[in-house]
Structure 1
């Protein structure tokens, strides 16, 4: 077979069923081999859309996401999605075409050193230099992307190697067993748990990567420990858990942030002490000792020292922790804070109130709905006011904070989970970043629901300009937005615009009950801010609230 045929053959044999991409000259042999192959290709309208669709596919299922792009601008357009997948530990395989081997280094048409460009935003990158290496490189790349701490891997394949004849030799990865944590560290961790009076479980995205929600909930059931979650971990702790406090950090709940600041033991479960979580690191959980559970040893001690570290798969390490029940006084204190600082939805104004709309959507949508966010104020409102039963049901660009993520990620999630409802929640700024993917929705008849919270502003930037730049609103006015409902109609997608609070309930019902794709364009107050907010350099218990302004 040719190298190109081998690429398709290996993907099929490794269980890949869906790929996303955009063809071009240097990857044309692979697209020729794709013709008639038992592999479904989804043509997006931009390579970044292909990358994010593959990310959405992977994050909503735990499977490997795969995307194709040609050389030069095709490959460079994938870089943002690679960086996003790297920051959020998403298993992604990107296959790019490259100019022929003899032309490399000659500034050939559409030649870019994507290997060098991608090294900082991938788990590993390859350029295939000999056709005899192609099978091993591809299979090794798929193994690397999905094993250990998942991440993106790029394979750059010159055009002549795609066209060359090659015998297929299967390469078998060594079977990896899940190592147990060090017994010494485990003994220290269990001693810390036994002696703690005010422990908190700090839950991160590693729970989803390890498929360890059951093990997490079993640990919480044994200990009755209060739990806080990062943005990426939302849904890991079941919403009905009595001591679930929601998200912590810059826009976390008041109860979550205060509880962490008061705790004496922080059990970090697959999290990395991100700066948006910790605020002022020196003041973050300053009274607490840390038990750090993670599969990646590089994360332990990177930002905050650990008194005990369990370096292992969470499915192995969580059951090894003993079930010392948390003191009743601490549980009651945390529950009281949860009640005292509960969200209120009795907004007095006549305009659409975004938190109420999203909370109503959360209550009315099916339990297994996947919600894909873009980045900005709406992203934080989703994190605060919607509830999820599994982390694969909440897809949000966490580490990279990528505008334009939501729509293509929803496409990937809908293709991966055709039986489930998929909703993208976007802002009027973010939706325009990859609006062309409405064409992908139409072409594939995907029933993706779209909610646009439109304040005619780059809302989060405007909020910071108001609070920290003396109201100097530089380049955040989007009052010349198109009519989004009319724009969607061009792609055959029906919908409606609402401007009043009284219209919200019926509009949510229309969205949830629609059979195909649907767009709900909700116009909100351009002065509405996300609260609470931990200012830069402040500790998490130094939150600004609406009432403190």
Structure 2
């Protein structure tokens, strides 16, 4: 069997549905093998976007997303996407081509040591040096990518290896069960929760995988323990529940931080060190239970007293089976925080000012989206408002990146979401800066005949940095730019363009776009100038009330 055919058959055996990317001369054997396979090639306009799409596929499905590039510049364009998947714990395989390794006739033209380049930003990287190694290396790459903690892996398939004849051997996936927590650790955790006066559940990024949602929901419902989430833990448990106290979006001082400060025990589920810590431990003033697939990474501000290491869903089930509701539990302060939050967070949701007020934007998007609708956020100051004010009802319906926090991922992530869930509404929410970093993928979305809505929040500047520049008392310099006519821009690709000129136009337009199959782009002027005033007013009110 031709080695490239064996490679594709190994991918098919792993259940690969799509390969995202841009082939080059060194991939032509692999491309021909894909042509007659069950795998669909999603041709993108930039390798970075292909990587973002593969990573998002992995995030949503738990299966390894696959992307492909040629050698040299194609492979280097994967670097940001590799870091995005690696820091965000998204299972992804990158396949890159290479010049012949047995007898090169072109010197070092376009030749980089891609394997070594990928080493610091992947879980596994290797060059395939023989067709006989294909089956085992593909299986190993998929195993490592999907094992906890998931991440990026890389295989380089040189041109001459892809073309050689090899034995038609395949290696099937082995049956694996994730380890469960040791019973004594479960007992220690149960004892700590029962002894606590005001326990609080904190749900992080790691809980947004492997179907932990059901068990955590049952824990909250059965025992009435209030919960908060990190940005990448949004939606694991329905955030419209009365016991939801907020999202740890701001660094400190918010409603949710008052609840965390008051709790005498934090049940920290799925903690991931890539996210900003929502609390600091000092002098053992706070008890912490660490529940995760892996042991805690201890540092000066995080040193949990009990670690429950094993499958998260199984650990929560085991705790739930032994836990007894305690009469001395006191959640009255948390109730006070909740009431203050519910009174203040809606401020501005009906504000008619234009350019649109951030809270009005978030409120209208939430009203338009069904419970299972997906919003895919790029990176910018608006992410604060969506993380803080948009209540997610289901896991992975708010796709934001609080790990690498790269710009340019919003549109590709939305496109991948639409491939995985074609019947669910998907909205990409992008700043004008982030959108233009991968705006060429509008053509890909139109070519795929996707029903997609893209909101461009236009302030004609790198708004997040401009905001921080002002906060640090620097002069306004170097962050303003011009923009194209976005309506004409999307129409040039074959999509439909819209522009709002008043705040009350957004919600009806969103509803209309959801009914009409097309790639829709909505140009929304936005004003971030009152970010500080909005936050400071709310935090002052919070200090007076809680």
TM-score range, shorter chain: over 0.9
Residue 22 (structure 1) aligned with residue 22 (structure 2):
yes
Partner residue of 2:495?
Answer: 493
RMSD over aligned CA atoms reads 2.6
Partner residue of 1:537?
Answer: none
Partner residue of 1:440?
Answer: 444
For residue 232 of structure 2, give the secondary structure of its aligned residue in structure 1: coil
Task: Sort the Cα spacing of 1:545 and 1:26 in 2 relative to 1 into closer, same or farther, 3 A.
Answer: farther
On the 8 A contact 2:92/2:151 being kept in 1, the answer is yes
Partner residue of 1:176?
Answer: 176
Shift of 1:408: 0.7
Count of residues in correspondence between the two structures: 537
Q: Could you give the per-residue CA deviations for residues 392-449 of structure 1, whole angstroms, max 9, x where no partner exists?
A: 2121122100100100111111111111111100111110110110010111111111
On the 8 A contact 2:4/2:162 being kept in 1, the answer is yes
Shift of 1:177: 2.2
Match of 1:375 among 379, 386, 393: 379
For residue 15 of structure 2, give the secondary structure of its aligned residue in structure 1: coil
Match of 2:480 among 477, 502, 505: 477
Single out whichever of 88-97 and 330-339 deviates more from structure 2.
Answer: 330-339
Shift of 1:482: 1.1
- Mind listing any 5+ residue stretches in structure 2 that lack a counterpart? none
Single out whichever of 403-412 and 297-306 deviates more from structure 2.
Answer: 297-306
- Mind listing any 5+ residue stretches in structure 1 that lack a counterpart? 535-541
Residue 512 (structure 1) aligned with residue 520 (structure 2):
no
Shift of 1:510: 2.6
Q: Could you give the per-residue CA deviations for residues 15-54 of structure 1, whole angstroms, max 9, x where no partner exists?
A: 1111111011222211121123221111000000100111
Mapped partners of 2:174, 2:214: distance in 1: 27
Task: Sort the Cα spacing of 1:169 and 1:36 in 2 relative to 1 into closer, same or farther, 3 A.
Answer: closer
On the 8 A contact 2:23/2:68 being kept in 1, the answer is yes
Mapped partners of 2:141, 2:419: distance in 1: 23
On the 8 A contact 1:21/1:50 being kept in 2, the answer is yes
Mapped partners of 1:15, 1:490: distance in 2: 36
Mapped partners of 1:363, 1:299: distance in 2: 40
Partner residue of 2:225?
Answer: 225
Task: Sort the Cα spacing of 1:528 and 1:17 in 2 relative to 1 into closer, same or farther, 3 A.
Answer: same
Task: Sort the Cα spacing of 1:525 and 1:487 in 2 relative to 1 into closer, same or farther, 3 A.
Answer: same
Partner residue of 2:458?
Answer: 454
Single out whichever of 43-52 and 459-468 deviates more from structure 2.
Answer: 459-468
Q: Higher relative CO (CA 8 A, sep ≥ 6), structure 1 or 2?
A: 1
Shift of 1:253: 8.5
Mapped partners of 1:302, 1:104: distance in 2: 52
Mapped partners of 1:149, 1:104: distance in 2: 38
Match of 2:407 among 403, 406, 412: 403
On the 8 A contact 1:71/1:110 being kept in 2, the answer is yes
Mapped partners of 1:253, 1:81: distance in 2: 33
- The TM-score normalised by the length of structure 1 is 0.92
Mapped partners of 1:465, 1:301: distance in 2: 30
- The TM-score normalised by the length of structure 2 is 0.92
Task: Sort the Cα spacing of 1:105 and 1:181 in 2 relative to 1 into closer, same or farther, 3 A.
Answer: farther
Partner residue of 1:357?
Answer: 361
On the 8 A contact 1:204/1:271 being kept in 2, the answer is yes
Shift of 1:508: 2.7
Residue 463 (structure 1) aligned with residue 467 (structure 2):
yes
Mapped partners of 1:303, 1:282: distance in 2: 5
Partner residue of 1:304?
Answer: 302
For residue 93 of structure 1, give the secondary structure of its aligned residue in structure 2: strand
Partner residue of 1:43?
Answer: 43
Task: Sort the Cα spacing of 1:376 and 1:327 in 2 relative to 1 into closer, same or farther, 3 A.
Answer: farther
On the 8 A contact 1:207/1:233 being kept in 2, the answer is yes
For residue 325 of structure 2, give the secondary structure of its aligned residue in structure 1: coil
Single out whichever of 38-47 and 301-310 deviates more from structure 2.
Answer: 301-310
For residue 293 of structure 1, give the secondary structure of its aligned residue in structure 2: strand
Mapped partners of 2:436, 2:21: distance in 1: 20
Partner residue of 1:113?
Answer: 113
Q: Within 5 Å, which residues of 2 pair with 1:41-190? A: 41-102=41-102, 108-190=108-190
Shift of 1:7: 1.5
Mapped partners of 1:152, 1:104: distance in 2: 29
Single out whichever of 398-407 and 162-171 deviates more from structure 2.
Answer: 162-171
Shift of 1:336: 2.0
Task: Sort the Cα spacing of 1:253 and 1:409 in 2 relative to 1 into closer, same or farther, 3 A.
Answer: farther
On the 8 A contact 1:429/1:457 being kept in 2, the answer is yes
Partner residue of 2:234?
Answer: 234
Shift of 1:13: 1.9
Q: Within 5 Å, which residues of 2 pair with 1:207-218? A: 207-218=207-218
Q: Within 5 Å, which residues of 2 pair with 1:311-330? A: 311-321=309-319, 322-325=322-325, 330=330
Mapped partners of 1:238, 1:531: distance in 2: 30
On the 8 A contact 1:87/1:398 being kept in 2, the answer is no
Partner residue of 2:257?
Answer: 257
On the 8 A contact 2:131/2:161 being kept in 1, the answer is yes
On the 8 A contact 1:452/1:522 being kept in 2, the answer is yes
On the 8 A contact 1:58/1:64 being kept in 2, the answer is yes
Match of 1:288 among 264, 286, 289: 286
Q: Could you give the per-residue CA deviations for residues 148-195 of structure 1, whole angstroms, max 9, x where no partner exists?
A: 321111111111111111112222454322222123322221111111
Q: Could you give the per-residue CA deviations for residues 515-545 of structure 1, whole angstroms, max 9, x where no partner exists?
A: 22211111012524268779xxxxxxx9789
Shift of 1:5: 0.9
Partner residue of 1:385?
Answer: 389
Mapped partners of 2:275, 2:535: distance in 1: 14
